[in-house]
Chain A
């Protein structure tokens, strides 16, 4: 088994898969990080991704257009964000209950819509994003194969990491977003309306989460099945907590989960002496273990999850 693991081609394949599996998690976790750093304990990631994945699927089957499908997914993600905003910001409902309700309604509606149009959907075949080799860089041995023969959204997700950092820490809007999560009254006492900002952040963040959902259909599997998210939305939440709400901590956790998923998907080749189901469960086991080890909550936004948001 160990010699199989050390096999060069296999190792490269595992890394390629890791980046590919990391893509939806990266996109969604950056969107979710923006929302949580603004103080909204949004647990509807799973439902947002699932709705967007279904939208991407429906549009790609109907039109065959990948760009249209991607846009549809982002829009549906943003729409779910608008619903979240209405419930948490305007109606000030409990944020946990809201997120849970979003997940449940997304799960029920996508399942029903998928089943009720089964004939249409089962006929529609499509090809998702194809790998795009970056000129020159793709020719670098090993590194080129791993990093520069990926799909477009993967490049986007990787590029978003430094951009997100720059936004949070080097722009005025980013500072104000962080202030919202720590103490929204700071902005309120300066006469800034908090609610419209939260709406904007939740809608935009959910749109990005929706993009992550689209990749599940268009970049990972080229098909839709009910519950295709399979807990990835929850892994995103875990990544934020384990990463102590810092961008780089979160990204690190995301890559760790993606690595486990990559290993699981190579289980047959690797011929590991454990049941296949154990490997599938590994990211979830690992996430609990991570939370048991990394217990610092010092980075948690002080106002996270509180309902007195203000106007």
Chain B
């Protein structure tokens, strides 16, 4: 295919936040009809760059050109007026409203009356061009995640976007939905649209026409998609070669730590969200749970932690029968949990590091003296945790809401690893963290396993699961559809099980 002159051009963009330079002199050209990839690991500055490209942030130095004209985006409205559309990683949608209402809201095409006839026609034409079918009058909450992303794309195209920026577009999609998305991107590219994808996934990068690699806020290279290889990209991204992943457990698993039978859970509308799940995990074993988000992993972990009461089923942890008991009883039985959303579920934001370290153990005898919480003991415990996990903070009384994501997660780790003497539950413990903290988390999970604790790890990242786990259960539609061994199973099989297709043999229930 032929590449055209640049439609969008960034020249020497620099953005500082206080003393941190998020983008340092970054330039790039995006041509009409090309798929351009912004590639780099978490914290490399991709999001800052894309925020400047669509007017959400303003550069401290440098400028942006559209069609060769110098522009000055003071808000997303300016960028939209120049034909720059943006699809955020976390969709910006009103769930109670319909598809078409979401698309036309905030556009002035329709006058004061909400005449939707013309909008309907335009949108059905657009859908036809992209090869998708969507019910325009359906309320948004009825749509799958993939369909919600279509709505986001339609929102941009409805306003005549010529450049479409997609931030981590496949992060929440199934492999099938991702395939469909790239199909749509292909059609847009053929129609002369420029598409910019922000991603850290190697597989996607290789489909791009042009790749711009960022590291620590600087551009470290621009590659032609045809010339790029996994090795060259990796080297550029991390500035060196990847260390080979450490070996799995060498010691053999011990006695049964968790025996769950027939666990059922219902959602807030009465729908079944965990459907007859049984599993057994031994101490000294890491049991992975693979699956696309929203297939019952979270309620399953919540039941195993005693946070959610099962509709039915039995649950043996250590040597205690725990179904129907409270979260406090589960904690006494030695269960710790690293929740999915550390700020919403794991930490009390305005509380200090020390206060968060004792959350849930604030009544235990070794932290109290008589009727009071013993301040000196809490301080000692918190100081030890800060040393042990090298939590970077001014003091133990710093509120955790002022900590970086990685340091906040270390506070959760310090508390829960100490708590989990029999079973450790971890739901996406490395999400959104820098590579250094990710390594720490993985190391701690392995250490816990070696101490003879049973670990259950929920992740959407198949690579992580294959690196860490002794066995992997795959969840789909609230059920565990198979339990596989990473030694004998390929990633593709697990991927297809994640979307509900039965494995072609090979997977056995352990």
A–B contact (CB under 8 angstroms): yes
> With contacts A171-B114, A172-B111, A174-B114 known, is A189 near B76, CB below 8 A?
yes
Please tell me if A178 contacts chain B, counting CB pairs below 8 Å: yes
Q: Is the CB of B80 within 8 A of A191?
A: yes
A171: which B residues are within 8 A, CB to CB? 112-114
- Give chain A residues whose Cβ lies under 8 Å from the Cβ of B508: none
Contact between chains at A175 and B104 (CB < 8 Å): yes
Q: B105's contact among A187, A299, A302, by CB below 8 Å, is which?
A: A187
Q: How large is the interface on A (under 10, 10 to 19, 20 to 34, 35 or more residues)?
A: 20 to 34
The reply to whether A186 and B78 form a contact with Cβ atoms under 8 Å apart is no
Residues A175 and B114 in contact in the complex (CB < 8 Å), given A189-B88, A191-B55: yes
CA distance A5 to B230 in the complex (A): 86
Which of A186, A188, A299, A301 is within 8 Å of B93, CB to CB? Answer: A186
A residues in contact with B86, CB < 8 Å: 189
B97 touches A178 (CB 8 A): yes
A189 touches B114 (CB 8 A): no
A192 within 8 A of B: yes
Q: A179 to B105, alpha carbons, bound, how many Å?
A: 7
Known: A186-B105, A189-B86, A191-B55. A302 touches B112 (CB 8 A): no
Among residues 104 to 129 in chain B, which have CB atoms less than 8 Å away from a CB atom of chain A?
104-108, 110-114
A118 within 8 A of B: no
A191 touching B75 by the CB < 8 A rule?
yes
- Chain A residue at minimal CB-CB distance from B96: A182
Q: Which residues of A contact B108 (CB under 8 A)?
A: 172
Contact A175 B112 (CB under 8 A): no
Given contacts A182-B95, A302-B96, contact A191 B77 (CB under 8 A): yes
Asked if A176 is at the interface (CB within 8 A of a chain B CB), the reply is yes
User: A170 contacts B114, CB within 8 Å?
Assistant: yes
Size category, B interface: 20 to 34
A307 cross-chain contacts in B, Cβ below 8 A: none
How long is the Cα–Cα vector from A301 to B114 in the complex, in angstroms?
Answer: 20
Q: Is the CB of B77 within 8 A of A186?
A: no
Residues in chain B near residue A192, CB distance under 8 A: 77, 106
Give the one of A169, A174, A183, A187 with max B CB within 10 A.
Answer: A183
Complex contact B97–A185 (CB within 8 A): no
A residues in contact with B95, CB < 8 Å: 182-183, 302
Task: From B55, B106, B111, B113, give the contact of A186 (CB < 8 A).
Answer: B106
Could you tell me if A186 and B76 are in contact, using CB atoms closer than 8 angstroms? no
A191–B76 CB distance below 8 A: yes
Q: Are the CB atoms of B92 and A183 closer together than 8 Å?
A: yes
Partner of B112, one of A169, A173, A178, A301: A173
Bound-complex Cα distance A189 to B103 (A): 12
A94 → chain B, closest Cβ, in Å?
14
B97's partner among A170, A173, A182 (CB-CB below 8 A) is A182
B105 partner residues in chain A, CB cutoff 8 A: 175-176, 179, 186-187, 190
Q: Which residues of A contact B104 (CB under 8 A)?
A: 172, 175
Closest Cβ of chain A to B47, distance in Å, is 14
Note all chain A residues with C-beta closer than 8 A to B96.
Answer: 178, 182, 299, 301-302
Cβ distance B106 to chain A, nearest Cβ, rounded Å: 4
Query: Can you list, as one digit per residue, whether each of A90-108 has a CB less than 8 Å from chain B (1) or not (0)?
Result: 0000000000000000000
By Cβ-Cβ distance, the 5 closest A-B pairs, closest first, are A191-B77, A182-B94, A190-B106, A191-B76, A179-B105
Beyond A175-B114, A189-B88, A190-B77, list 4 extra A-B contacts (CB 8 Å): A174-B114, A179-B106, A191-B76, A192-B106
